Amino acid sequence: MKTNRLFLAGVLLLLPLLCQAQSLFAKYSDMNNVSSVYISKTMIEMNPELYTKDVNIGKIAKQLELVQILSTMDNSIKREMRRDIESVVRAQKYELLMKQKGIVSRMAFYVLRKGDKVEDLIMVVDGAATLKYVRLVGNMTLKDIQNIMKSQKTSENNCISIPVDEIKKALNEISVALNEIQNTEDITELKDFKKEVERLKKEVKDGAISYISF
């Protein structure tokens, strides 16, 4: 009886947190210009090797209770969704596990932990075209999260990559071409582009950029 009371108390404490994150999915899942995926525990049990293009959950399927995925290419929706995700993360005191910024995209992992277990993971991938929100709820270990992060990094980089030497060469050629154009200072777009090229050249020189992926 005492164990049941403790379990019930724990559920009641977690309920407001779960409801807020759930409401974010409910808000956007049926919205126009938003694609959504909801995978229940039953579905995960039926297909433990389940794989989506957004996240590979096969290795940790037994530990999961649900999976929610939202993605959109609509700029106005992206702005609103970013604000809502930030609000949920801040209100529920998610811990920032990792943040990674590239040339055209950024990625962040947020977790809610209980002891050495992760009960809730939110992954946000904010690309040049698409904003993607992935939420996993279950009873995961940090090792499980590490595996997800590795697989996500691999899938995100499963594309054309340009090594640093090629980047340097390309940026130098662009600089030379821009310098040969007369009156670039009088053309706002070229002036801004020239500044961006110089910024990228500095980042490459400082080692902040090791490759560019598309």
The 10s digit of each residue's pLDDT in 185-197 is 556 666 666 677 6
Q: What is the mean pLDDT of the chain?
A: 75
Q: Looking at the predicted structure, is the pLDDT value of residue 16 above 60?
A: no
Model confidence pLDDT, tens digit, residues 81-105: 999 999 999 999 999 988 888 877 8
- 157's tokens: 């980089």
Q: What is the pLDDT of residue 135?
A: 94
What DSSP line would sit under 61-111, residue for residue?
Answer: GGGEEEEEEEEE--HHHHHHHHHHHHHHHHHTT-EEEEEEE-SS-EEEEEE
Percent of the chain with pLDDT over 70: 60
Q: Looking at the predicted structure, is the pLDDT value of residue 115 above 50?
A: yes
pLDDT band at 3 (very low <50, low <70, confident <90, very high): low
| Dist CA 123 CA 52 (whole Å) | 14
Q: What is the pTM of this model?
A: 0.62
| Dist CA 36 CA 57 (whole Å) | 16
- 200's tokens: 């990228």
Nearest to 117 by CA among 64, 44, 47: 64
pLDDT band at 35 (very low <50, low <70, confident <90, very high): very high
Instruction: Over range 145-163, report the average pLDDT.
Output: 59
| Dist CA 26 CA 100 (whole Å) | 27
Q: Would you call 30 helix, strand, or coil by DSSP? A: coil
